[in-house]
Amino acid sequence: MNLHSRLFSLLFPIFLPVLFYQVLPAEAAQGDPAPQASLDHNPVYSVTAGKSVPVSVTFADPREIAEMRLYFKTMAADEYLFLPMTISGKVTYTASIPPAGNWTKGVDYLLLRKNTRGEVRKTKPFRLLIQNDFSASPPSQGEIPVQTEHRVSQAENLDFAVPLRVVMTTEPLLAEAVEDPYPPITVPGPGSGRSSGGMLGGPGGVSFSIKAGGIGFTYRSFSGQ
């Protein structure tokens, strides 16, 4: 074995990870040529009928954001309405979904962002559960101005507890927006029975018994699995 071969065999294992490190980010970059400003949004899961729903989103670097919109529709409606989101503070955009009426059941909403390079992205739609509340007095707000990208039937807006004044937008963005993937979640596997705390099995599919000092204790699954 000559000197070059020896040097190669010695240095190859060292350079191999470096090579991969160089190649992998380049490949990843091909799939996503323009990295997007990462957003932080805590979904709203439920609300009682008659209450408006403040929705906020926070950006690490909001300088990249040119426009933010909050799209919403009742689950029975076909087309989304939207409200522009306004920046409050330095990094947070907010807008409120108008109050839904009793029996609306659910409202879908999503967040759309346009960056300073003109790229448009949207989140997956979030489902908001509307719980009936017949004891509350109707909201006293007047007409709420909202915008739309399609001609919507007035009947679609009757599920809201306040009248909406719908105006056609001159700049539709929803159809061209690229949808974000689902945020990562933990999907329970088959028969795992793991608890999120990780200390003991969850109530599904777990059973154990302990006997110590003459005292016995049994823990059984509540799931009936």
Partner 1 sequence: MIGPLKTLSVLFLFSLVSLVGCADRVPVQPAPSTGTVFQQPLSEVQNATRNALTHLGFAITKESEEYIEAVHLKPGETVEDNDSELVGIWFKPRESSVLVLTHTALRPSGIAKQREWDQAIISRIMQELP
> Minimal distance in Å, beta carbon 52 to partner 1?
17
Is residue 101 a contact residue for partner 1 (CB under 8 A)? no
> Minimal distance in Å, beta carbon 175 to partner 1?
17
In this chain, which of 8, 12, 20, 222 binds partner 1, going by CB under 8 A?
222
Q: How far apart are CA 136 and CA 53, in angstroms?
A: 16
Helix (H, G, I), strand (E, B) or coil at 83: strand
Helix (H, G, I), strand (E, B) or coil at 112: strand
Radius of gyration of the chain from its Cα atoms, rounded to whole angstroms: 26
Find how far residue 198's CA is from the centre of its chain: 25
Is residue 54 a contact residue for partner 1 (CB under 8 A)? no
Is residue 103 a contact residue for partner 1 (CB under 8 A)? no
CA atoms within 13 A of residue 169's CA, in its CB half-sphere: 17
Is residue 215 a contact residue for partner 1 (CB under 8 A)? yes
> Minimal distance in Å, beta carbon 74 to partner 1?
11
Nearer to partner 1, 163 or 204 (CB): 204
Residue the block writes with tokens 């028969």: 191
By CB under 8 A, the count of residues binding partner 1 is 42
Q: Tell me which residues in 169-208 interact with partner 1 (CB under 8 A).
A: 182, 185, 187-197, 199-205
Give every strand in the sheet of 53-59, ordered side by side.
39-40, 53-59, 92-97, 86-88
Nearer to partner 1, 107 or 152 (CB): 107
Binding mask 132-151 for partner 1 (x = CB under 8 A): xx------------------
Beta bridge partners of 148: 81, 168
Sign of the CA dihedral with 134 first, then 136, 141, and 142 last:
positive
In this chain, which of 33, 45, 171, 175 binds partner 1, going by CB under 8 A?
45
The tokens describing 66, both together, are 């040119």
The tokens describing 171, both together, are 């700049």
Footprint on this chain of partner 1 (rule: CB under 8 A): 45-46, 75, 105-106, 124, 127, 129, 131-133, 182, 185, 187-197, 199-205, 210, 212-215, 217, 219, 222-225
